[in-house]
Structure 1
Amino acid sequence: MTGVVTGARRRAVRDGDRHVDTAHLLHSLVESDSEVREVFDGGPQLAKVLGYLVQRSIGYGLRWQGTQEDSGAFPAVREPAGEGWSPAAAAALDRAARGAVLRGELHADGRDLLAALVADPHCRAVEVLGRAGVAAGRLGARAADRAATGGGPYG
C-alpha cells in the first residue's frame, strides 16, 4: 500500500496538482496492484479506465488540474493522509484503514482502498470509473468481498 500512496503523490506532483486526489489513488492502484486489476470485468474495462486516467495526467479530457477535490460526501480526515491530500482522498485512506482493522488486519491493502474510493459516489475516482462504463457500486462490492475473503479472481 505504501507504493500506491507514493505513486499517487508522485503522479500529483508530475501533473502539477496541489493535492493528491482520489483519481491519483485510483491510477496508482490499477497500475501497481494486480489484485485490484482482478476486481475489474476483464481487460477492455480496465483499459478504458486507464485511458481516462492517462488523458487526465497529460492534461486532456477530465479537467481538474489546479482544483481541490472535495466531494462533500464524507467528512475530511487529516490523518493518516495529512497535508497535501484532498479531503476525499484523505477520507478514503481513513476508510480503507478502518476497513482493514475491522477485518482483523493491521494494514489496508489495495482492495480495501478501492472499496473505500468507490464508497464516495461524488469523488473523482468514481467519475473516472463512470465515464469508463464501470459500475462503481458493483466494483466496490467485489473489492470488499475479495478483501474480506482473500479471494483471487474467482474467490
Structure 2
Amino acid sequence: MQPRTSRQPSHEQDTRRPDDDTRLSAELAVVIAGARRRAVRDGDRQIDTAHLLHTLLESDPEVRAVLGGGPRMARLFGYLVQRSIGYGLRWQGTVEDSGALPVVTGVDGFSPVASAAVDHACARAARRGDAHARGVDLLAAVVADPQARAVEVLVRAGIDTRALAGRIDNDAGERPQEYAGDGGAAC
C-alpha cells in the first residue's frame, strides 16, 4: 500500500506556514498544523474550514464544551471522519469560497473562507484585548459564514449554527457578526 500524498505538486506548495502566525495561541497553531496534515492526507490542496473544525474538536476541550456532548457530537465526528471517504470527496479539487469576496486561491495554504476565518479569529481576540486567538475564536469565525464547509457539516450533524454563534458571542460579551464581507480583517 502506498502512502497518500498531497496532489499538489511540490513546486506549487506555499512555503509560508499559517501555524507560525504570531497572532495565534500555541494551541491554535497546533490546530492549524493538524488541519494542514489532515488536508494533505485527504489529498486536498488547501486547508478548509472543515479541516479546521475537525482538528479543533480533536484538540481543544473548550471548543468541545461549547458544542456540548452527546449524540450530536458523535454524529459530528462521524461526518468529519467520513469526509475523506464519503460525501466530502465532492469537495476535492474545488476551492471553498463563500462568494462574498472575489475568488482567490487562498492565502498561506488556506481556502479563502478559512483564511478569512483565521483573520476574523485574530480580530475577535484583539477586540477582547488578547494578543493571541484561541480555538473558540476560530470556531466563532468558522460558524459566522453560512457558506463554510464546516457549517455544512455542523448542520448535517443537527447543530444550529446561528444559535451556536450567538451562544459563543454571548459568552464573550460580543454581538454576532459575519466576517465574509469585511475583506478579511487584519489583526
Q: RMSD of the TM alignment (CA)?
A: 2.1
Partner of 2:129: 104
Pairing of 1:74-85 with structure 2 (within 5 A):
82-85=107-110
CA distances 1:51-103 after superposition (whole Å, capped 9, x unpaired): 1000003x21232112111112357799xx83311000000000000000000
Is residue 146 of structure 1 aligned with residue 171 of structure 2? yes
Stretches of structure 2 that go unaligned for 5 or more consecutive residues are 1-27, 175-187
Deviating above 3 A after TM superposition, structure 1's stretches of 4 or more consecutive aligned residues are 73-78, 145-149
Report SS of the residue matched to 1:24: helix
How far the C-alpha of 1:148 sits from its partner, in A, is 5.1
CA distances 1:86-141 after superposition (whole Å, capped 9, x unpaired): 00000000000000000000011111100000100011000001111100111122
Pairing of 1:1-155 with structure 2 (within 5 A):
1-57=28-84, 59-62=85-88, 63-73=90-100, 82-147=107-172
Q: Is the 8 A contact 1:18 1:66 kept in 2?
A: yes
Instruction: Give the Cα separation in 1 of the matches to 2:139 and 2:125.
Output: 12
Report SS of the residue matched to 1:39: helix
Please identify the structure whose Cα radius of gyration is greater.
2
Stretches of structure 1 that go unaligned for 5 or more consecutive residues are 150-155
Aligned residues: 146
Instruction: Give the Cα separation in 1 of the matches to 2:124 and 2:104.
Output: 15
Instruction: Give the Cα separation in 2 of the matches to 1:93 and 1:74.
Output: 15
How far the C-alpha of 1:44 sits from its partner, in A, is 1.3
Task: Answer with 61-70 or 131-140: which moved more.
Answer: 61-70
Partner of 2:22: none
User: Once the two structures are aligned, what percentage of the paired residues are identical?
Assistant: 59
